[in-house]
Amino acid sequence: MVRRQLPQENQIVSVRALDKNHIEVTFEHSGYHFDFEDIRIEGPAEIRHVSNEGTIVSLETTDLSYREHYSVSVKNYGRRPIDLSVFFDKLSAKQKLGFFVENGHTQFRLFAPRAEAVTLILFQTHNSVQGVEYKMQASANGVWGTSLEGVYWGKYYGYKVSGPQAPFEKFEPEEVIADPYSVAVVSKNSYRHESKSIILDTKQYDWEGDAFVNRAWEDLIIYEMHVRDMTVHSSAGIKNKGTYRGLVERGGLGGINHVLDLGVNAVELLPCQDFGNMEIPYGVEIEGVKNTWNPYERNHWGYMTTYFFAPESYYASDGTSTLDEYVGVHGQQVNEFKDMVKAFHKEGIAVIMDVVYNHVSQYDLNPFKLVDAQYFFELDASLKLTDSATGCGNQLRTSRPMTRRMIVDSIKYWMKEYHVDGFRFDLAAVLDWETVDEITREARKINPQVILIAEPWSLNSYAPAKFSDHGWASWNDVFRNGIKGQNPHDGLGFIFGEYWNDNTRETIKRFIGGSSRDSGGQFVSAAHSVNYLESHDDYTLGDFIRIGSKEVDPTAKITDLVGHVKLSENQLRLNKLAALLLMTSQGPTMIHAGQAFARSKVIARTNVPDESIGLMDNNSYNKDNETNWLNFEQIKLNHALYKYYRGLISLRRSHPSLRRTKPADIQFLNNTVKYSIGYLLPRSPTRADDRDIIVLVNANQTETAKFVLPRGRWRKVANQRRVSTTPFGMSIKSSVRVPARSGIILLSTH
């Protein structure tokens, strides 16, 4: 019936339903040859008519149902499952999900659109193997529910879900999965992350009048940190190590004590939504996958979310990493997280959560995979999970109505239930734009000044400008790469007296001004440019400079940690120069934990078979040990740098012009020395006591730079040795010399 010349390599590329009676089969080439009886549908449907044009063969069929699995096979050309996205893209529900108490009854609801049966299991204890089972009833839009008389506070529950089986997708009707809308879970320590949902009354908490910390985005000085890393090292002086409680415990050097001492006004917590923190055993094949990449068997940073509404239970007061032990047994992580937020808020410190809505935990009993993988995830042509944009084993399909609803519901929940001030979205370019806009609309209804920050890329997309169009700020990697460099081996930036890639003095000016579009940057406003030089990813800034200065060989193992951490005079100057540029550029500012004392991530010796022990680590996601834990004793080794950061933070907070100057109002000074730049930031017109500020930077390796100053008299508030909010030194006029690899900040005297 359909006859074309046959190229031997021609294959079926994809098969998708267009509606309930039409299927589109796409071939690799237009040359194909088969008869009507050679093509068939596997599944409860029949072909009524076949037509073709180019590489497309169209099938008219009897009714298709999204509750079934189908495949199309063509003799000599292969077989593909039918993508039923056309149905899933329209499938949504408005009913409240999860558990809730109403009129003396406890209601349970789960969205499982293709399930054939769903059973609720109610457990008396966290480690019960058997529970009381209740059959749930399905509604027309895929929501399963049941109502139990009475209230079950403190009890535990889960679901069993059965559905259509296929080679590319298997429901696991014997597995008990926790509710994807769990408000708290108790989890067993293993790569399977076996969990039960806790029926917890979360409404009795006393917030003591707590409210959001609202601050203009450009005023933010963000400290990115990990709950455990900030509290667990012995030098932190924290009793409740590795916990939410420990993070706000007073009296030591770690946690909130360090945050307050440094003077930042916002903290950004690495993921705290309950995540799969253990990977499959090293060197052991599990379901066809062998862990050859992670001998630590850990996901320490937390970028493997499992339950989007529940706080991570490893950071609860009963947190432990002992295999097969339980954590979060009584749901205490809920109130302990709230205590933490409240404590930060009392100090005027905003709390930002790093959230991961682009993929889920890979090897555990993730509820979205076991409830309906076809609905919630991006799939390839074989309807298998794909990670083309995440590299993490899977990718959420955020454009699906109920995936989008889950994300938006989760954001709203963390704002209402936990008073979270903002969010940093991991691999945000995976999110579809309708979801981005819905997050913005709904979050701003709760708090008009909510902080929304994108990591504006994925593995195959880069969109800081578009996020700015949608009203979000973004991590400014262009600033990072231009100022310090793209990598320390052969991609050094401005502070080293080099221009990385296509940077020039003009691009450095643009970075200083907040990378706004009126100067050729990516952002609608400087308030959208989150300037940073170090994050959890890659080398620390201190290690980048150690390597980039050629003073430390990254391939040589470090045997003298103290000598290695202590900065040379040259490294100290480079760190200070980087800090000065960061803290005097327009836009929100972010520093990472330990950046202020040039922390080094040297891979610690443990009982794990890691050949890289003793080397600097540029990807420490898997190490819950002294590689990542902050050693606050190292502040003493580099106290000059630490004081410098403290001074710059205080100076930035004292002078609005350092963060609120419009790019057009920045006056750049003339200077002929390469890799040097000077700029005047005019005083704030709203503050009578404010002064004009001049920032002078000389990144030249050897040459002193002379700057001609505007009319008037000036005094230093910063040089290469010190920073102060009070001017020091003699009055200066006409000109000033800035030594190589250093900077000066001047304040007008009138």
Domain residue limits at 673: 661-748
Q: Is residue 535, in this structure, part of any structural domain at all?
A: no
Last-in-domain residue among 42, 63, 88:
88
Q: What is the pLDDT of residue 640?
A: 98
The whole-model pTM stands at 0.96
- The Cα 619–Cα 495 span in angstroms is 23
Within 8 A by CB and 6+ apart from 153, the residues are: 199, 200, 201
CB 122 within 8 A of CB 153: no
Q: What is the pLDDT of residue 170?
A: 78
Q: Are strands 422-425 and 350-355 parallel, antiparallel or unpaired?
A: parallel
Q: Is residue 355, in this structure, part of any structural domain at all?
A: no
Q: Per-residue confidence at 88, pLDDT binned at 50, 70, 90?
A: very high
Q: What is the pLDDT of residue 9?
A: 55
Within 8 A by CB and 6+ apart from 234, the residues are: none
Sign of CA dihedral 495, 502, 486, 264: positive
Q: Is residue 680, in this structure, part of any structural domain at all?
A: yes
Q: Per-residue confidence at 167, pLDDT binned at 50, 70, 90?
A: confident
**pLDDT tens column, 331-388:** 999 999 999 999 999 999 999 999 999 999 989 999 999 999 999 999 999 999 999 9
Q: What is the pLDDT of residue 582?
A: 98
Q: What is the pLDDT of residue 1?
A: 41
Q: Is residue 547, in this structure, part of any structural domain at all?
A: no
Kindly state the tokens that stand for 722. Answer: 């010190």
Q: Per-residue confidence at 6, pLDDT binned at 50, 70, 90?
A: very low
**pLDDT tens column, 421-446:** 999 999 999 999 999 999 999 999 99
Check whether 268 has a pLDDT greater than 60: yes
- The Cα 140–Cα 159 span in angstroms is 19
Last-in-domain residue among 65, 88, 111:
88
Q: Is residue 410, in this structure, part of any structural domain at all?
A: no
CB 598 within 8 A of CB 544: no
CB 54 within 8 A of CB 23: no
CB 30 within 8 A of CB 6: no
* Percent of the chain residues past pLDDT 70, beyond the cut: 99
Q: What is the pLDDT of residue 670?
A: 81
- The Cα 522–Cα 234 span in angstroms is 43
Among candidates 567, 596, 543, which has minimal Cα distance to 723? 596
Q: Is residue 516, in this structure, part of any structural domain at all?
A: no
**pLDDT tens column, 180-220:** 999 999 999 999 999 999 999 999 999 999 999 999 999 99
Last-in-domain residue among 88, 122, 140:
88
Q: Per-residue confidence at 684, pLDDT binned at 50, 70, 90?
A: confident
Residue 696's φ and ψ, nearest 5 degrees, are -125, 125
Check whether 7 has a pLDDT greater than 70: no
CB 317 within 8 A of CB 342: no
What average pLDDT does the chain have? 95
Check whether 172 has a pLDDT greater than 60: yes
**pLDDT tens column, 332-347:** 999 999 999 999 999 9
**pLDDT tens column, 466-501:** 999 999 999 999 999 999 999 999 999 999 999 999
Q: How far is CA 353 from CA 253, 304, 454, 515, in A?
A: 23, 14, 12, 25
**pLDDT tens column, 617-652:** 999 999 999 999 999 999 999 999 999 999 999 999
Mean pLDDT of 727-736: 92
Mean pLDDT of 272-298: 93
Q: What is the pLDDT of residue 32?
A: 85
Mean pLDDT of 511-536: 96
CATH of the domain at 696: 2.60.40.1180
* Percent of the chain residues past pLDDT 90, beyond the cut: 92
Domain count, the chain: 2
| 649 Cα distance to chain centroid | 24
Among candidates 298, 285, 278, 129, which has minimal Cα distance to 193? 278
Check whether 5 has a pLDDT greater than 80: no
Q: What is the pLDDT of residue 4?
A: 46
| DSSP result, 85-103 | HHHHTT----S--EEEEET
Mean pLDDT of 553-579: 97
Q: Is residue 389, in this structure, part of any structural domain at all?
A: no
CATH of the domain at 60: 2.60.40.1220
Vertex 224, ends 218 and 230: CA angle to 5°? 145
Radius of gyration of the chain (CA): 29
**pLDDT tens column, 695-712:** 999 999 999 999 999 999
**pLDDT tens column, 38-85:** 999 999 999 999 999 999 999 999 999 999 999 999 998 999 999 999
Check whether 256 has a pLDDT greater than 60: yes
Q: What is the pLDDT of residue 95?
A: 96
CB 274 within 8 A of CB 307: yes
- The Cα 671–Cα 704 span in angstroms is 11
Please report which helix (H) or strand (E) contains residue 196, including its range.
Answer: strand 195-198
Q: Is residue 314, in this structure, part of any structural domain at all?
A: no
